[in-house]
Structure 1
Amino acid sequence: MQLNVLKLNVFAKLRTHEGAPAATITDEAALRRSVLACMLWESEFYESGQTIAARIRELVPRVEAAKVAALAVEARTAMKLRHVPLLLVREMARYTTHRALVAQTLAHVIQRADELAEFLAIYWAEGKTPLSGQVKKGLAAAFTKFDEYALAKYDRAHAVRLRDVLFLCHAKPVDAAQAALWKRLIAGELATPDTWEVALSAGGDKRMHWERLLAERRLGALALLRNLRNMKAADVPGELVTEALDQMRTDRVLPFRFLAAARYAPQWEPALERAMFRSLGDADRLPGHTVLLVDVSGSMVYPLSARSEMLRTDAAYGLAVLLRELAETVSIYTFSIGAVAVPPRRGFALRDAMEISQPHGGTNLGAALAEVRERYDRIVVITDEQSHDRVPAPKGRGYIINVASARNGVGYGPWTHIDGWSEAVVGYIREFEQAAARANA
């Protein structure tokens, strides 16, 4: 066999999908960037959902168990992700090095009753195998969280039903009332929940159903936002919808969901904007001058999931709207082929200004950074990190917020790297800078 042959890529550096030099990072950092913006098994612009999920599986045993567990909790609680935390726990259950933390982590990340059965579907995705003792303990602890309404709402005729989970995990009820509830679950005798799905599936006048659900405040925040188009189609009176939006709880709703809702229900944009501003809260502002640089390249104009109308730009614009409210003074740019200054408007007006600022082309982050010549206390880049050109160090304190799950990225080294698109990123920036100030005091 001839040995004196050229082996391609042996010394090749890591690259982004568009060709820029990418950073070499630890397994933990690689797992974080794959997880915290991941809609599990949903394809992104550059990678398939299967590729991303396979990478997560490969990385879990290479990262310390406590760090994987903490990441699963962060993904569920801070980033509001539902499925990828379950995958992390399922992978933890495979390894003796990680199993000891499975029960407590699983009990923490299961926050909706349907996640009990969803976890088992993920656990058995490659074929049925016995549940480990830690998995049974975690499911049993989680099962006790849910009342009759929650169990009835999500007791659906899927491959794995809630009573199957109950039989497998041998959960113990906390009291006689819960024991009676579980008997009704097993017998299929739970009270039918008054949800919008049940009401509409019963047939009849859809407008009447929506009007009743709105009047009785039976719709949660996300259900309300997702059904605005259906209410419009049913000719529901606009004042009822406006009143519901003005009264909805916004504490668990991220800004990008309001932006997406407004795309297909623009007639309710004023009420959506008011609700979005309520969701931003009264957090302390970031002091000094902040520059925002928002990626509007072609790869960002891509759905978050196959069944969603939300785009990755919605996530980026939502973060920009949030940072605009919480920065003391701000300058805003978009970038694709180059950087374009955008008026520092608020809310939906800012979204519109960013969307029309330039064509959705390539990702020339390096060139864009060179065009930002003003002085700043911090620069925050919101991007999928797949730059076409080399990315220099920031001229001061710099953050890159990664809103995708691609394997390689550029926002490391002199940059402070943050993964995900929830409001938690602003708290991280604030705490990071306060800690740095204390250290330098």
Structure 2
Amino acid sequence: MLVAPHVSAAARTPSPPRLHHRPAGTDPSTYEGGAAFVREPREELFLLAVGNFVSQRTFYESGEERDARYARLVGELAVQEPVWTAGLLRWLRGEGNMRTASLVGAAAFVRARLEAGVSAGPSNRSVIDSVLHRADEPGELLAHWISAYGRNVPQPVKRGVADAVRRLYTSRSLLKYDTASKGFRFGDVLNLVHASPDPEKPWQGALFRYALDRRHHPEQALPPPSDRVLTAHRALMEPAADERRAMVTGPGGSELLAAAGMTWEALAGLLHGPMDASVWEAVIPAMAPMALLRNLRNFDEAGVSDEVAATIAARLADPREVARSRQFPFRYLAAHRHASQRWAAALEEALGHALANVPPLPGRTLILVDRSDSMFWGPVSERSTLTRADAAAVFGAALALRAEQADLVEFGWKSAALPFEPGEPVLEVLKRFHRLGGTHTTKAVRTHYQEHDRVLIVTDEQAAPSGPGGPAEPVPADIPVYTWNLAGYWPAHGPAGPRRYTFGGLTDAAFRMVGHLDAGREAGWPWTAGPV
């Protein structure tokens, strides 16, 4: 263990944020000057990947620094641990639900292996294919490659993209994603990778030709007559705007929009006018859960009827819809903060379903939630107004409410126990959290640990100086201490070892590991069956 010199409290001004570069070989310390511990590369990459929205600046690192560290780690492990790294990237796009990070990672994986001249492990082609789950992603990956590495796209990338194109390109995905706002249109992708149609999809050849025509000869492009969706879409586009509005809002309008593959975004431009209540009510049945969540305020402003609002609320609160939407739990908190009271009960219920993996931990549990300034600085992603402090409070409160007996503590420069009642809504408990300045993690553990059966710390790990042992030092060696890192910074606040575990990410997926480890069973990485 290497301990950095202590830094006085006066030197640690929380605003503006201070960005640090950590050259290889320097003594590790947290960004607040506390003792730090070097993670092994796989752990560092995993924690960075699950907490990293690409190019998102954090309190201690710029977006560029995080992106460079991420690409470096992926590249190194792609050569040294190709099977593990390919598994991470595949899992990251799937269960991890980190779309951009998986695409950027797959490109870095292939780039590093080509430069090193290695071929052991999964093929580069298969890794590219494995991270492409949505029809706009082949174009996004190619755009990233060209921006990061130049216009010479290697064959494994082209072939992996072509494999994904055959899986993902349909008439509905073309209407949704092949828009002028995309840097790479479907036709651009087809021109670059020369994807041949899937032999088991006889309609795909005509679709590919239409996508090319839409890109290069839009005035002459005609949908294949046999394609019902594209034909219905063209029929809806031909009338004047007033006639289209009457078609959409009249009897059978919802069925017409569904048959034509019309999204709410496209409909807003199609009608050349406001999205009033009648238009929204026509398209709402075809909207996905995330689209509903994003438009609650628009529904209110347009005056959507109570009857339709009830169907929206029922879908938002449906556990199957919540599972299908795969939204981060904090998305429901953000919607709750900005939506009217009309949606409050449904969003509260949806948040509960989104935290389905939170285990009912037996015995006594100490839960500490980091409320330091670095947790409040900046949103968790460019599409959110919520901070890591918000996410930490959501997870900490959910853990406390599900546990058999829990002490819930917020900490910063000082710490305090937060009261709660069994069965209380998570959103009510969140109102009791405060902003508490710095990060005296070990002091909080030492103050509040009283023969608990386990300790969970939800934090960014950037603890202030507190002695050589780290936050787990006051806890007996046979009591498990779980750190949940929400930021993925380089320095760790405590050493790894028996009964000391670190998780990461902005979903509740890590919680299911707590039960396994608590029972003394070894746990593997989420995409592997064996132990780490």
In 1, Cα distance between equivalents of 2:393 and 2:269: 35
Provide the secondary structure at the position in 2 that maps to 1:34. helix
Provide the secondary structure at the position in 1 that maps to 2:123. helix
Task: Say yes or no: does 1:407 pair with 2:490.
Answer: yes
Other-structure match for 2:160: 138
CA contact 1:206–1:234 (8 Å) conserved in 2: yes
Task: Say yes or no: does 1:81 pair with 2:87.
Answer: no
Other-structure match for 2:283: 213
In 2, Cα distance between equivalents of 1:224 and 1:412: 44
User: Across the two proteins, how many residue pairs are aligned to each other?
Assistant: 429
What whole-Å deviation, never above 9, does each CA across 1:177-212 have from its counterpart, x for those lacking one?
222222222222563531111122233332332222
TM-score, length basis structure 1: 0.89
CA contact 1:68–1:88 (8 Å) conserved in 2: no
Q: Which amino acid aligns with 1:426?
A: F
CA contact 1:72–1:85 (8 Å) conserved in 2: yes
Provide the secondary structure at the position in 2 that maps to 1:287. coil
Shift of 1:52: 0.3
In 2, Cα distance between equivalents of 1:357 and 1:115: 39
Task: Say yes or no: does 1:243 pair with 2:265.
Answer: no
**Mean Cα displacement is larger for which, 233-242 or 394-403?**
233-242
Task: Say yes or no: does 1:387 pair with 2:463.
Answer: yes
Other-structure match for 2:189: 165
In 1, Cα distance between equivalents of 2:371 and 2:90: 30
Provide the secondary structure at the position in 2 that maps to 1:79. coil
1:258 to 328, 332, 338: 332
CA contact 1:213–1:219 (8 Å) conserved in 2: yes
Shift of 1:283: 7.5
Provide the secondary structure at the position in 2 that maps to 1:332. strand
Other-structure match for 1:183: 209
2:509 to 408, 417, 424: 424
Other-structure match for 2:371: 296
1:227 to 285, 295, 317: 295
1:21 to 25, 35, 40: 35
Distance 1:104 1:437, change over 3 A: closer
In 2, Cα distance between equivalents of 1:284 and 1:300: 24
Q: Flag the structure with larger Rg.
A: 2
Provide the secondary structure at the position in 2 that maps to 1:272. helix
Distance 1:25 1:279, change over 3 A: closer
Other-structure match for 1:149: 172
Task: Say yes or no: does 1:97 pair with 2:176.
Answer: no
Shift of 1:50: 0.7
Q: Which amino acid aligns with 1:292?
A: I
Shift of 1:349: 4.3
Other-structure match for 1:119: 141
What are the within-5 Å matches in structure 2 for residues 5-20 of structure 1? Answer: 13-20=27-34
Task: Say yes or no: does 1:194 pair with 2:218.
Answer: no
What whole-Å deviation, never above 9, does each CA across 1:271-321 have from its counterpart, x for those lacking one?
101222233448863333332211122222231234422222232233234
Q: Which amino acid aligns with 1:149?
A: R
Q: Which segments of 5 or more consecutive residues in structure 2 lack a partner in the other structure? A: 1-22, 215-221, 224-229, 234-260, 524-532
| RMSD (Å), alpha carbons | 2.7
Distance 1:239 1:129, change over 3 A: same
In 2, Cα distance between equivalents of 1:84 and 1:124: 16
Q: Which amino acid aligns with 2:118?
A: T
Shift of 1:355: 4.5
What whole-Å deviation, never above 9, does each CA across 1:122-176 have from its counterpart, x for those lacking one?
1111353322222122112211222321232111223321222122222232221
CA contact 1:254–1:318 (8 Å) conserved in 2: no
Other-structure match for 1:305: 381
Distance 1:151 1:213, change over 3 A: same
TM-score, length basis structure 2: 0.74
1:204 to 273, 276, 279: 273
1:46 to 36, 60, 79: 60
Distance 1:295 1:10, change over 3 A: closer
**Mean Cα displacement is larger for which, 422-431 or 346-355?**
346-355
In 2, Cα distance between equivalents of 1:197 and 1:285: 41
1:109 to 131, 139, 146: 131
Q: Which amino acid aligns with 1:167?
A: N
Of all paired residues, the percent bearing the same amino acid is: 29
CA contact 2:135–2:177 (8 Å) conserved in 1: yes
Provide the secondary structure at the position in 1 that maps to 2:148. coil
What whole-Å deviation, never above 9, does each CA across 1:250-289 have from its counterpart, x for those lacking one?
0012321111111111412111012222334488633333
Provide the secondary structure at the position in 2 that maps to 1:382. strand
Distance 1:290 1:73, change over 3 A: farther
Q: Which amino acid aligns with 2:192?
A: L
Task: Say yes or no: does 1:60 pair with 2:129.
Answer: no
CA contact 2:463–2:493 (8 Å) conserved in 1: yes
In 2, Cα distance between equivalents of 1:92 and 1:282: 31
In 2, Cα distance between equivalents of 1:141 and 1:326: 44
